[in-house]
Chains A and B, each alone.
Chain A
């Protein structure tokens, strides 16, 4: 058997080939961000488990508040350890689909199917006298299906709703009705299920107009400032954007219910990348409803139909 002497080049080539052959299966193509930093939560109705969670918010201590189809609002630490739970007073008609934290540290719950916004302390005590709405209707202070509540720097509340009259209503810090805009439709300034809102430092209100598959941005009196998005699966296109998050550094993260992904945009609507695909594995999403970003800049995605939360770092 003849031995072959191997030179430097041959050896390098061979070694590279060997490494490539070993690695070729399984670790190709996925960007680093596709691997979630943490995946937690599973289906169930006991403490710490979820039954199709649909809304999430985060407080300044990075505590996560999550509401699911049992109308339980569960509080977790940043790593998904269960802290406490409470439930909305009635939920036979339907369960809440929006959560946010107010400037005074209350948890605002968009009690969708009871046409109102409930306010709780972080310990889960209901502040009944602070409730906004409660009556179904088209008049000022009346609501259809409430989807989200947001607060601007001045403390005014914006409440979004859908149904037959998709609109945004604005309330003062004393919860007095101030103004409204919108209406059902696909024209600029109209909405088809405004599912979530975010207010930036310039008091602009960023709205995910879910069934119109677009983002609309308004000033504090409801004047349309900008708008982008069309239905599709390509980067830059949207499918049922259900939630948006402004990182304060010139980016908007959008959670797409229909495309099972999170998309990062500049504030002018230029897509910078997407994360996630349809599926049940880690890094895959199944009809995600909402996202939040913690103080360390990590994104938590509420992977609703997988009954879990996935955290990733960009």
Chain B
């Protein structure tokens, strides 16, 4: 079937008669057949070109159906029912999909987001009972799932979705989306998931008064609700209500009392008093005695925060591999009146609220990643680093980095968010100061799941940790071993100018299955040998261990070049593969890792790339005395020279006027790299960089310095979050639906309402995202702001009352989503969706509800559900269109050529006769007639014809014939060498011959006319 995109162009077909008329006249010289052919071809060319202008499409109708099953995997549906949906989809695909029609079936699972569990394919997929997609099951977004299905349908089939859900949507508008789908010709079948309405206990909230103060008793209230079904017998639910108070790692149970809940709401109160200033979290949890008495357990707890200002606390994070390194400093700071909490780097904070009890956080010679084995390697995740930075930038907490061989660039912190927060950069641009390192990555992650993805991640991690002057190269196998970049320059390039190019190549990298280690390692050995200015040469090989080993010569070359090869065995094939890689590492002095969980890979690459960063450690001999470059609160009141230091980590001072370099080393001579102490204000907080240590190794002379305590306590105190008497401000936060309302009451010293010019606020959501909080004054001393709190989790609220005022912090916890409030199947919505008529087809079907699970634990059968066939043919057949206008243009061009050919070229086939004659004579051995015979015969016959004609005319005119006419030379004599062509030209010779009789007949006619005149005159007489 043909269709036209621009059908108006077809009007041009009306020009065809003109073309015919014009051609008929202009081509009259061609003879009848050639003219007809030329006009025919011309017509065709025009029709084809007009067809091309009209954008002709070839449309093919097919009978295929694509069905996408949308399975609701949100938590409002019990897990067993969610698994049952998958079984139904499997059963339906298996039993109802028609292979002969090439039907397609796909599956989308959804909660808040919708993910494709199986794309629409034309064979019978069977899903595993456990879904593989990552979903947020705390919400139901039917509309999102439908949109996803729409984007997934192939264009050339009929389309249907089967929606299996309880219909309790809490994000999006399903009915609206369903209407859009129906209008687009998509049919929607619906299978309701029946929910049994059971008694459900929910801890709705924990309420605290807005202004909790130290030593003042207050009332803590817990609101519980017992949502018993309306038609059920109201029964009490017995259980325990447990209220816990947490502050840092301290945890106390305030109450654990048995309670009996009647249907409806109930409030429990508890008298509480806070003696120790801190950031407190209260958690209330209800535990029913009979677990079956409570339908949903996710809504059985709620939390609330409060903060009581007091003496500042400091968190010191130390490297878990080197514990006790800062014990002396900790002891001295405690003596100076600071409260120090020590946390090892393998047991780090996991959320921002945890950091709120501290006013300064010290990273004491902590590397980003530590650990020697894949099993114990630990690192600051990107999220944790972000928390640290935002805690300073937006919450005003201090951030101090104390030096040591594992800190700054030498600790692998290069290119992290932490670097941005510090007054110094961790990379050195000048080669005079720091020798460079060279790193070669060899990729062969082979058979681990998502190998290519992980290879990209680790290559990026390694690249991140390298400085701009360091060299990096990456080899992988694709038929041959190849450098990913710089093939013509030896494979290793400086990272600085090439970082973006490298990242983009890594992003496009596709790694093949490397048969042997030799080519890649040989390439690395040659490439690294060509780098003469690198102080440290390192290679990291990741492999499943089954490539063939490298040759002894290559291993020797690596050893001779002092290249350390670290091997990372992933998904390795038992002991043997690992043994080979272990040997490679041992022989070259590298490390060997066995990785069973790919998540450990980025940490290992961060750890290994740190080896390249070692030159950042600077150890002057003899030790040098740091010089005070400017007066600052940290060094205020200190007298005399600073004791000498024997080392520090090289950094580069940030190019910012906010940076204050307080102490500087006289060596190296580049002052921008010789910072010992620098400070600046970063956002709302302060950050301090101290690049030497606190007395363990480099600053050992300082421990006997009489001003040690003063120096360090001044440093920490300067960085700490400003504290003040916030008693006159109270902040209350209240969650209402998807919004949280913040109310600030401000009073001055005389308890009069305070009217402030500016009051600003900020909120950090559960995913660390910043949520703007706009606070407006609504009444004297009353300020109100509101923000969206759609996600479950903790929200930190910061309010800055005005210049010079300490920040007020509070938190609010959004306990559970609406997902756990709905308790019945939303049948009306589902029925409305099923009733929608797909454009050009029929309405969807409401399938039998998902069956109850058999009591004996057997798998359910879906006989009732399978009575409706989602692959039924009640939708308009799909049309697949294909543009064919380019073909029309091509055919038109060819025919145009033919048109010209017909008009310009005259084909004669006369040559066939002599060829045949020759063939007959030479091949068929036939005797050839006398050569002249045909010509003479034709001549004679022609002569006879002419004679006959002349005789006839002569008889008519009674003139005597002229015997010379027929013998006139050249008159009718055909040439023997050139056969007469057929067609219009063939008549030229006889025409010449016929001229003679024509002249005669004129005389005849004249005579005849004369005679007639005489005859007529006679009659008249």
| A interface residues, Cβ below 8 angstroms from B | 1, 3-8, 11, 14, 44, 46, 49, 69, 93-94, 112-115, 136, 144-145, 162-164, 166, 184-186, 192-193, 210-211, 239-240, 257-260, 278, 287, 305
Contact = CB atoms under 8 A, between A and B. Distances in A.
A239 B580 contact: no
Nearest to A240: B515
Contacts of A4: 904-906
A259 to B, nearest CB: 7
A136 B479 contact: no
Contacts of B576: 115, 136, 144-145, 163-164
A145 B984 CA distance: 85
Contacts of A145: 546, 573, 576-577
A144 B512 CA distance: 23
B513 interface: yes
Contacts of B915: 8
B911 A7 contact: yes
A7 B915 CA distance: 13
Nearest to B518: A211
B786 to A, nearest CB: 51
Interface in B588-645: none
A211 B515 CA distance: 7
Contacts of A1: 29, 903-904
A156 to B, nearest CB: 26
B30 A94 contact: no
Contacts of A69: 447
Contacts of A239: 479-480
Contact of A258 (B30, B480, B575): B480
Given A46-B123, A162-B548, A258-B479, A5 B573 contact: no
A231 to B, nearest CB: 9
B573 A94 contact: yes
Nearest to B552: A185
A11 B907 contact: yes
A210 B551 contact: no
9 contacts: A1-B29, A8-B911, A69-B447, A93-B573, A115-B576, A144-B576, A164-B579, A260-B479, A278-B479
Contact of B549 (A6, A49, A164): A164
Contacts of A144: 576
B794 interface: no
Given A7-B908, A115-B576, 17 more contacts: A1-B903, A5-B981, A11-B907, A94-B573, A112-B546, A112-B573, A114-B574, A145-B546, A145-B577, A184-B549, A193-B515, A211-B518, A240-B515, A258-B479, A258-B480, A259-B479, A287-B479
B908 A6 contact: yes
B911 A136 contact: no
A144 B577 CA distance: 9
Given A1-B29, A5-B981, A6-B907, A193 B447 contact: no
Contacts of B551: 185-186
A94 B479 contact: no
B123 A3 contact: no
A149 B984 CA distance: 81
B329 interface: no
Chain B CB within 10 A, most for which of A193, A211, A257: A211
A239 B515 CA distance: 11
B788 interface: no
Contacts of A93: 573-574
Contacts of A193: 515-516, 548
Contacts of B575: 136
A6 B480 contact: no
B906 A113 contact: no
A306 B30 CA distance: 59
B908 A5 contact: yes
Contacts of B124: 46
Nearest to B580: A164
Interface of B: 29-30, 123-125, 447, 479-480, 512-513, 515-516, 518, 544, 546, 548-549, 551, 573-577, 579-580, 903-908, 911, 915, 981, 984-985
Nearest to B912: A8
The 3 A-B residue pairs whose C-beta atoms are closest, nearest first, are: A113-B573, A94-B573, A211-B516
B905 A136 contact: no
A69 to B, nearest CB: 7
Contacts of A49: 123
Contacts of B580: 163-164
A49 B123 CA distance: 11
A257 B905 CA distance: 56
Nearest to B897: A18
Nearest to A143: B576
Contacts of B513: 287
Chain A CB within 10 A, most for which of B29, B124, B516: B516
Given A94-B546, A192-B516, A3 B579 contact: no
B30 A3 contact: yes
B591 to A, nearest CB: 20
Contact of A46 (B125, B549, B574): B125
B515 A94 contact: no
Chain A CB within 10 A, most for which of B544, B549, B551, B579: B549
A287 B576 CA distance: 25
Contacts of A136: 574-576
B92 to A, nearest CB: 17
A193 B551 CA distance: 13
Chain A CB within 10 A, most for which of B515, B908, B911: B515
Contacts of A8: 911, 915
A192 B548 contact: yes
A216 B123 CA distance: 45
A186 B551 CA distance: 8
A244 B123 CA distance: 35
B93 to A, nearest CB: 12
Given A1-B29, A164-B579, A287 B573 contact: no
A11 B908 CA distance: 9
A82 to B, nearest CB: 12
Chain B CB within 10 A, most for which of A3, A144, A164, A259: A3
A3 B549 contact: no
Nearest to A210: B515
B556 to A, nearest CB: 14
A211 B549 CA distance: 10
A192 B516 CA distance: 8
A37 B480 CA distance: 29
B548 A5 contact: no
A211 B908 CA distance: 67
A240 B911 CA distance: 61
Contacts of A7: 908, 911
A5 B515 contact: no
A69 B446 CA distance: 12
A281 to B, nearest CB: 17
A25 to B, nearest CB: 11
Contacts of A115: 574, 576
Nearest to A3: B906
Contacts of B480: 239, 258
B906 A5 contact: yes
Contacts of B574: 93-94, 113-115, 136
B442 to A, nearest CB: 16
A4 B480 CA distance: 61
Nearest to B546: A145
Contacts of B906: 3-6
A211 B911 contact: no
Contacts of A305: 512
